Structure 1
Amino acid sequence: MNFRTPAVRLGMLPAGIALALSPSFASAQEAAAGTTDLDRISVTGSRIRAANVETQQPILTLSRESLEKQGFSSVADVLNNLTSAGSPAISRSESLASGENVGGYYVDIRNLGAERTLVLMNGKRLGATTSGLQDLSQIPMGAVERIEVLKDGASAIYGSDAIAAVVNVITRKNVEGGEATAYFGQYGEGDGNTEQYSMTLGATGERGSLTLSAEYNKADPVFAKDRWYSKDGSRGPNSTPATWSALSQNGSWCNPTVYDCESASAVWQTLNAGGNPNNPADYHPLTQGEWSNANQQMTALTGVERKSVYINGTYDFTDSISLNSDLLYNERNTFQQIAGYPYQSQAFGTPLSADSAFNPLGQDIDFRRRLWEVPRTTESQLKTTRFAPTISGFFDFAGKTFDWDVGALWNRNESIVTQRGDASLIATEQALGPSFINSAGVATCGTAADPIVGDCRPWNPLLPNGVAGQGSLADPALQEFLFPTFTTRGETKTTSFTANLAGSIVTMPAGDLGFAVGVEHRKEEGSYVPDAFAQSGMSTGLGQKPTRGEYDLNEAYLELNVPILSDMPFAKELSLNMATRYSDYSNFGDTLNSKFGVTWRPLDELLVRGTYAEGFRAPTISDLYGGLSSSFERYIDPCGVGAPGSVAGNAACTAAGVPANYVQLGQGNQPCATLPCATNDQFISGANPNLSPETSKSTTAGLVWSPRWVQGLDISLDWYKYEISDMIIADSVDRILRDCYVLGDSSRCASVVRAPAGNITALTYGTANLGKVETQGYDLGVKYRLPEMAIGNFSIDWQTSYLSSYDEEGQNSAGDTITIGQVGTTGLFRVRSNATVGWTKGDFGVNWTARYYSGMAEDCIDIGCTDPDRYQNGEAAPIRKTGSNTFHDLQVSYTAPWDATIAVGANNVFDHRGALQYSAPNSAFAYYGGFDVGRFLYMKYTQRF
């Protein structure tokens, strides 16, 4: 919220002075440092325009000055390094991720999911994907004035999605002059080159202003083969290449005259070095040393390139009516790569034909081969166009001043995803079918009597990678035939219209009774249309169906701020804040959510606050109208011998045809070396049009203390608790298998399809309101600016988040509902703490930051379990614990006489390495996706003019 004062705005001027002087407003005061626009106040979390409202809630403010002292080049990187931030929703380390959200930058406060943190830009929603994720890469770093993070539920103020927190990114306005910045960085290994150029220009006049900010950012990908934790694949305690694939890039085949090629005991053989691929005697059994290491072709960090232009304009029509308008265009391109597809002819019914010129046996044979020559690449492009005008003003009535505004938002996101590396099954069937060597000695599709005329190229899948010959996958013409380019297009639109009125109803003995009332109409539209090949299932890629839908809503809210006591002994201030919001959705109906807050200041230097809030998250377009998609899931089959909680041989498993001695099979139909294990076949998941909203309750209580006897010291401590019910989650594979085979619920078995050997070949599942989470913890903030000394000025900023509980609802093997404690598991750190020490003297400055993460524990079966005999809720629950990690950052800066700032620095200056995490949390590799992947060195030059 903002307003411009004409001649006086008498009611707000004293409040503005109080805001600047009150110690409890330290963060807001820092945010305003260096700006000349003293006549505007922004309050995140409230619609009431009064200075004392902000103290009622736990708000963290990151000023532009503090952002410049960090070595991060994106808004998302800054936010994900907050101690209250959870694991990144889709980190740059998740190169195996697919779908509409890939390539985006998201923030997840309190580990409650990025879709439950509402992101605003100047108080208005960012555009979202069809699954409700808001991409922070839409916001250029150079345009940011400050970031305010409300760590509390606020659905009563902002509506859906404001369950865990609200992030409000406030951009620069009323800039006079210009500023240009160049940023360069790279990892100590010499990769991941990052460059960023930004320029901001502004001019102000008697009645208006115009600010333009343009930015270009590019971060090159980092490849897994260049990092210690990923180059050799995930390895267990006995150096077993647990994630290496038995599908070798050298190709292998099974002799059906000797073996049952569907069985795990079948022998697969590969060509001898220098051997004749048409001679069956020139092959030997494939050994583990010849398996493929997929990590050698994968990106460890995706590459990203961003271009953006942001324009803000203001104009005062009169002394009491103003226009503020934002226009943003952003284009983001990301690149990720994974290894060539692990092709298995059995999975697609495409054996090497007995009539192929490359068949060594003279009858149809099944083969396996990693399509190494053509890695799978994905380039995701997102174009964002945003226009957000607001007309605001004020008027006097009955001796009171009232503020009003009417605004609109049009946000359009257009995505284009281009993929290559998945083979066309139509083409592979032809390339593996009959072929012959023609009179010119060239392999040709078809038969000599009936050759195939066209683009068909015969393929010899038994010819190893790097070995030349006809039918080699290295042939560009064959690659062109087998590997089409797939294009998926998506579009989301957000349209909203708002009207707000705020002011004072009456003056009470303790102050003005403030109010805010408003209405909003919003419409969300979205589509995500996969390539025709993906829809048809005629490629080796994961199958997908289109997502398309829309909904609209009307909302009205009322907020009151009631002063009860003021300037009394042990009650310098006592006030209540109340808000309620009614929302009527076209898809599921209506909902009412309220919030209550109390502020008590017993002493000038001590503030006590508390809030209680109801919240909700409406089902998204993808939740309701998403098309079917396929994936290779990791799960534990309870019918398998040796599985945790195994029920091998029971009636349900026997009825499904599972042998009593069945061992779960994974990729290549090989027995799983570790559990959970990835399926060998694609499973199908989809949407649910009958979903209802998620609901939440959040409670906070805290204090802010600024002792008079220690000038410059501010201490805040806040406790929080969240309860989320009816969470929209995917009905997991493990949940279905347990219900079916352990609990004996036959209705849950219908979608499970098994092969005669017992392995699951197909499974279909969807989303449901099944989840429930409760979490609570504490946030401690200490800021201290030491008295000025001869050696310079020192400041300390220490922020710590302590997670006391994070409980999910689940079931044990008996079917009882149990609470599963997750604190300390991967990504859910017991403690996260950032401590920054700053020093300045004259034109020089140094900032040192230590980022601490407490230890983690992950589920394990036989990979380095530190507590193999652990039990939880009466069941075996072995875990592997790893220690804590601290990353150190350093920046040294110099302010030059020609009005420039030069900074050099390093993130993770000591090149600290976290412990391996074999469960690959938030990553495609055995390393936590939120950790630094090396020492990152950078330099930054800023010129003001």
Structure 2
Amino acid sequence: MNFRTPAVRLGLLPAGIALALAPSFVSAQEAASGTTDLDRISVTGSRIRGANMETQQPILTMTREALEKQGFSNVADVLNNLTSAGSPAISRSDSLSSGENVGGYYVDIRNLGAQRTLVLMNGKRLGASTSGLQDLSQIPMSAVERIEILKDGASSIYGSDAIAGVVNVITRKNVDGGEASVRIGQFGNGDGDEQQYSMTLGAKGERGSLTLSAEYSKQDPVWAKDRWYSRDGSLGPNSTPADWSSISQNSTWCDPRLFGKCDDDEAVWQTLNKGGNPNNPNDYHPLTEGEYANANQQMTLLTGVERKSVYINGTYDFTDRISLNSDLLYNERQTFQQIAGYPYQSQAFGTPLSADSAFNPIGQDIEFRRRLWEVPRTTESQLKTLRFAPTISGFFEVADKTFDWDVGALWNRNESIKTNRGDMSLIGSSQALGPSFIDAGGVARCGTAAKPILGDCRPWNPLLPNGVAGQGSLDNPELQDFLFPTFTTRGLTKTTSFTANLSGSIVTLPAGDLGFAMGVEHRKEEGSYTPDAFAQSGQSTGLGQKPTRGEYDLNEVYLELNVPLLADMAFAKELTLNVASRYSDYSNFGGTTNSKFGLTWRPLDELLVRGTYAEGFRAPTIADLYGGLSSSFERYIDPCGVGAPGSVAGSAACLAGGAPANYVQLGQGNLPCSTLPCQSGDQFVSGANPNLKPETSTSKTVGLVWSPRWVQGLDISLDWYRYEINDMIIEDSVNRILRDCYVLGNSARCDGVVRAADGHVSAITYGTANLGKMVTEGYDLGVKYRLPELAIGQFSIDWQTSYLSKYDEANQNSKGDNIMVGMVGQSGDTTLFRVRSNLGVNWAMGDFGVNYTARYYSGLSESCISIGCTDPDRYANGEAAPLRKTGSNTFHDLQVSWQAPWDATIALGANNVFDHKGPLMYSAPNSSFAYYGGFDIGRFLYMKYTQRF
């Protein structure tokens, strides 16, 4: 087919698809794996085409062949298992997480936060949420040719967000032929079923090509009740009913004739006797611990995920010097998570069971507590991505010098829809709990006989325990429909950018060509996130939220130079300086300039020394600047509580703030907390800050790459890195505010803290601020060795290790001194392993292959009060800081493959083949359960079949 004909130019997409489909099914031809023109390629971290930049910076490249040998089915899992990756931003075990970003897959290089790792697709930005997170689930695994990971700052090359590093996913193009693949997997426990189907088709003509890749994948949720560490409660197998929620599905109420308003510690909460009459006030008994609610029984442990995607790449050579490359991507991702029915407390919403209710046994308003067990809270999050990225590129020659140019555009649109059910309408509950009567037919009706409430209203009897039938039972579907509406939240983000780049050689120096790249970019970011009307008005038991809406645009210009200083000299086979600088002008905060310097020295052919110094920045996101208020049930430690780490109970500040001298921190149900940090039973409010300024950073790296001549196939690299981030945009936390107010004596920080009569913090408001500072430092070691081919087959080894020597965050001690607190080896919101190491061993012989990987994590420590403390008397920075330490963990993966004679590959594998179990972590790091959210939750078995044609 001639791609130069007008018909093809006008109808390239439909004709190309037809071309791809027809010959692919007619003959079994050999498939190409996505060839690339290597004459003048760009490497992540530089805009200079053709320069030998890959060795100048710490870049890790993962080929398609290497990806297929791993047991992971999506890009995010591959990246999160890199040794340089930090703890997942929102793991699939974060069942209690809420908001726009839940359900997405993110990567966090160097533990600096996912929003500080820039993700590119073919060198162009991936669309981000209003919070700046870039969802890797948008990229189908079947479309990936390779992944390049730059573990260094690169704001001078790519602009904002490239503080920790850059992930560039390169997709397939110029495919000639096709392949179809099926993957099926399941945990050894018999759950978490996974299925993935993909097909890639390609056709090449005289002057162009078209590649299409389609993928469908689904993984069922895993339930907390089906794992040893989550089924029994927040303390794992050590949990007892006393650790469960006192807001029980059996329902409790307080008799106002005995305890007045029922808001003191001596009030007795009683529940219906088994088989008892709910209308008889003497047919109740005090709630016992054995009747508490184990909320984990209704929670998902791993979020369920379903994805559908289509990716199309088209190339067309207008001339031998001018080409078009265009990417089109559509992806639809849907996730499902569930948590236990809401712990309803009538006192919190001013909705007692009315004295005039047909179900009231005493004729006075009754305060009650009831876990809404019959209707668990579910969230379905859908994200639709449409991306179009055309680029026209070419080259020209002037005075025997070749110059490359390209002009490109990007339109990326992410539309999210979240559907929630399980939170109760307060409008509905106030009517269902209000006056009601029994009509002539014996049916309970809302209102009074003289003035009934018509419509869908159904009276609710909250005193009926879960599973007990009767009028007003929450088991009634009609009552559920009335009380539990479906809530819909919508989000939309758009990224539009236009770029122009020019690169080439300015002049030939004695040591080689002086390369340059320069370019301009205009980008616009728009975003909105609109919660359901119930969430905005606060008329439901769900977390209150206000809309986020905003936009900004920017113009940027950059220049990069690659200067060869020495070459082919004694102890200077190569000495090259790379310099880059970028100026960014934002519509919301102004301009910023960031530069980078890199030096490469090769004293011997087999030894390379490299180093970089880079300035970076991260602009405030739309949510940072324009986000509406939202609420959440926070986990925190109250320093005014007796027994808290660094407790100042009874101090003047605590007493003045309303905390009694003998106050013990209260959690949900206003019961004393059994473990700390403890989750609040009240909603706290947080919001945005329009006066934020950008974060700034500096990064330094020094590395060695050694390829000894006497050991063919061996490459060893060692890199040292150090990052320092200032003016970090962080969410001012409850812990920070309470510490500043009561421990450090900053009275201005007490203004937003409200305490109830019993002393517990009942309300607090906080927002984002440029309050953070962080310094991290460490080493990366890489060893790759391809052994000479032996009679027993070909062996290759890939060993990657990251050592974290420092991770310090700004804090203050009890004296108010500003200090940097070391966090290496600790778990929490950020989980920091001192050592992560992956050892991969690959064996191939003929048509058979075996790939083995060991993933090592060093031990962790977590704050503790009394549970399993291994160092209860530890002090740090002048304060009590008891710790609980856990040991190291290693997970083993194995895959066996066979190249069938009919041009197919059959692979069987297991991740965590020995079913290793990680330790209990009561701090629930990156999880909603007593287990690290990044660890394997069991043995996962899978089979993959790939047919090429």
Q: For the superposition of Structure 1 and Structure 2, which TM-score range results when normalised by the shorter chain? A: over 0.9
CA RMSD of aligned residues (A): 1.2
Question: Which residue number corresponds to residue 938 of structure 2?
Answer: 934
- How many angstroms apart in 1 are the aligned matches of 2:637 and 2:932? 22
The Cα of 1:635 is off from its aligned counterpart by 1.3
Partner deviation per Cα, 1:118-141 (whole Å, 9 max, x = no partner): 000000000000000000000000
- How many angstroms apart in 1 are the aligned matches of 2:509 and 2:241? 73
Question: Which residue number corresponds to residue 563 of structure 1?
Answer: 564
Partner deviation per Cα, 1:299-356 (whole Å, 9 max, x = no partner): 0000000000000000111111110000000000000000000000010000011111
TM-score (norm 2): 0.95
Question: Which residue number corresponds to residue 44 of structure 2?
Answer: 44
1:900 aligns with 2:904: yes
8 Å CA contact 1:237, 1:864 repeated in 2? no
The Cα of 1:37 is off from its aligned counterpart by 4.4
Q: What SS does the aligned partner of 2:259 have?
A: coil
- How many angstroms apart in 2 are the aligned matches of 1:151 and 1:664? 43
- Structure 1 segments unaligned to the other structure (5+ residues): 1-31
Partner deviation per Cα, 1:359-413 (whole Å, 9 max, x = no partner): 1221001000100000000000000000000000111112211110000000000
Q: What SS does the aligned partner of 2:653 have?
A: helix
The Cα of 1:864 is off from its aligned counterpart by 1.1
The Cα of 1:420 is off from its aligned counterpart by 0.3
Q: 1:143 to 1:253 in 2, by over 3 A?
A: same
Q: 1:774 to 1:241 in 2, by over 3 A?
A: farther
Question: Which residue number corresponds to residue 343 of structure 1?
Answer: 344
1:875 aligns with 2:876: no
Q: 1:842 to 1:238 in 2, by over 3 A?
A: closer
Q: How does 1:417-816 map to 2 (within 5 A)?
A: 417-816=418-817
The Cα of 1:241 is off from its aligned counterpart by 4.8
Partner deviation per Cα, 1:51-100 (whole Å, 9 max, x = no partner): 41221100000000000001110000000000000000000000110000
Q: What SS does the aligned partner of 1:665 have?
A: coil
Structure 1 stretches (4+) deviating beyond 6 angstroms? none
Partner deviation per Cα, 1:135-160 (whole Å, 9 max, x = no partner): 00000000000000000000000000
Partner deviation per Cα, 1:759-806 (whole Å, 9 max, x = no partner): 111110010000011001000011111111111111111000000111
The Cα of 1:546 is off from its aligned counterpart by 0.1
Percent identity between matched residues is: 83
Of residues 838, 845, 861, the one that matches 1:841 is: 845
The Cα of 1:654 is off from its aligned counterpart by 2.2
Question: Which residue number corresponds to residue 28 of structure 2?
Answer: none
Question: Which residue number corresponds to residue 947 of structure 2?
Answer: 943
8 Å CA contact 2:625, 2:692 repeated in 1? yes
Between 633-642 and 326-335, report the one with greater CA deviation: 633-642
- How many angstroms apart in 2 are the aligned matches of 1:34 and 1:711? 28
Q: What SS does the aligned partner of 2:65 have?
A: helix
Q: What SS does the aligned partner of 1:738 have?
A: helix
Of residues 913, 920, 923, the one that matches 2:917 is: 913
The Cα of 1:39 is off from its aligned counterpart by 4.0
8 Å CA contact 1:263, 1:669 repeated in 2? no
Amino acid at match of 2:113: G
- How many angstroms apart in 2 are the aligned matches of 1:263 and 1:886? 50
Amino acid at match of 2:639: P
Amino acid at match of 1:875: E
Q: 1:674 to 1:528 in 2, by over 3 A?
A: same
Between 925-934 and 674-683, report the one with greater CA deviation: 674-683
8 Å CA contact 2:51, 2:515 repeated in 1? no
Question: Which residue number corresponds to residue 20 of structure 1?
Answer: none
- How many angstroms apart in 2 are the aligned matches of 1:920 and 1:150? 30
Question: Which residue number corresponds to residue 162 of structure 2?
Answer: 162
Question: Which residue number corresponds to residue 831 of structure 1?
Answer: 835
8 Å CA contact 1:236, 1:242 repeated in 2? no
Amino acid at match of 2:576: S
Partner deviation per Cα, 1:197-249 (whole Å, 9 max, x = no partner): 00000011111110000000001000101111101112279644575100000
8 Å CA contact 2:860, 2:887 repeated in 1? yes
Q: How does 1:63-102 map to 2 (within 5 A)?
A: 63-102=63-102
Partner deviation per Cα, 1:422-453 (whole Å, 9 max, x = no partner): 00000000001111111111111111222111
8 Å CA contact 1:235, 1:241 repeated in 2? no
Partner deviation per Cα, 1:532-569 (whole Å, 9 max, x = no partner): 00000000000000000000000000000000000111
Q: 1:423 to 1:34 in 2, by over 3 A?
A: closer
8 Å CA contact 1:237, 1:863 repeated in 2? no
Question: Which residue number corresponds to residue 186 of structure 2?
Answer: 186
8 Å CA contact 2:42, 2:50 repeated in 1? no
1:230 aligns with 2:230: yes
- How many angstroms apart in 2 are the aligned matches of 1:38 and 1:736? 55
Question: Which residue number corresponds to residue 3 of structure 1?
Answer: none
TM-score (norm 1): 0.96
The Cα of 1:40 is off from its aligned counterpart by 5.2
Partner deviation per Cα, 1:879-904 (whole Å, 9 max, x = no partner): 10000000000000000000000000
Amino acid at match of 2:682: D
- How many angstroms apart in 1 are the aligned matches of 2:242 and 2:562? 60
8 Å CA contact 1:236, 1:863 repeated in 2? no
8 Å CA contact 1:612, 1:697 repeated in 2? yes
- How many angstroms apart in 2 are the aligned matches of 1:237 and 1:372? 23
Question: Which residue number corresponds to residue 14 of structure 1?
Answer: none
The Cα of 1:673 is off from its aligned counterpart by 1.4
- How many angstroms apart in 2 are the aligned matches of 1:57 and 1:321? 30
Question: Which residue number corresponds to residue 142 of structure 1?
Answer: 142
Partner deviation per Cα, 1:103-122 (whole Å, 9 max, x = no partner): 00000010000000000000
Partner deviation per Cα, 1:786-841 (whole Å, 9 max, x = no partner): 11111111111100000011111101122111121110012200100000111111
- How many angstroms apart in 2 are the aligned matches of 1:240 and 1:815? 40
- How many angstroms apart in 1 are the aligned matches of 2:717 and 2:590? 40
The Cα of 1:755 is off from its aligned counterpart by 1.3
- Structure 2 segments unaligned to the other structure (5+ residues): 1-31
- How many angstroms apart in 1 are the aligned matches of 2:352 and 2:669? 15
8 Å CA contact 2:242, 2:290 repeated in 1? no
Of residues 844, 865, 869, the one that matches 1:861 is: 865
Q: What SS does the aligned partner of 2:282 have?
A: helix
Amino acid at match of 2:793: G
- How many angstroms apart in 1 are the aligned matches of 2:698 and 2:235? 43
Question: Which residue number corresponds to residue 27 of structure 1?
Answer: none
Partner deviation per Cα, 1:7-55 (whole Å, 9 max, x = no partner): xxxxxxxxxxxxxxxxxxxxxxxxx998464445231000011241221
The Cα of 1:415 is off from its aligned counterpart by 0.4
8 Å CA contact 1:234, 1:241 repeated in 2? no
Question: Which residue number corresponds to residue 210 of structure 1?
Answer: 210
Amino acid at match of 1:174: N
- How many angstroms apart in 2 are the aligned matches of 1:763 and 1:551? 30
Amino acid at match of 2:836: R
8 Å CA contact 1:37, 1:174 repeated in 2? no
- How many angstroms apart in 2 are the aligned matches of 1:303 and 1:628? 28
8 Å CA contact 1:242, 1:674 repeated in 2? no
Q: What SS does the aligned partner of 2:258 have?
A: coil
Q: What SS does the aligned partner of 2:496 have?
A: strand
8 Å CA contact 1:234, 1:242 repeated in 2? no
The Cα of 1:671 is off from its aligned counterpart by 1.2
8 Å CA contact 1:906, 1:938 repeated in 2? yes
- How many angstroms apart in 2 are the aligned matches of 1:369 and 1:262? 16
Partner deviation per Cα, 1:171-197 (whole Å, 9 max, x = no partner): 000000001000000001111010000
Question: Which residue number corresponds to residue 10 of structure 1?
Answer: none
Q: 1:115 to 1:230 in 2, by over 3 A?
A: same
Amino acid at match of 1:138: Q
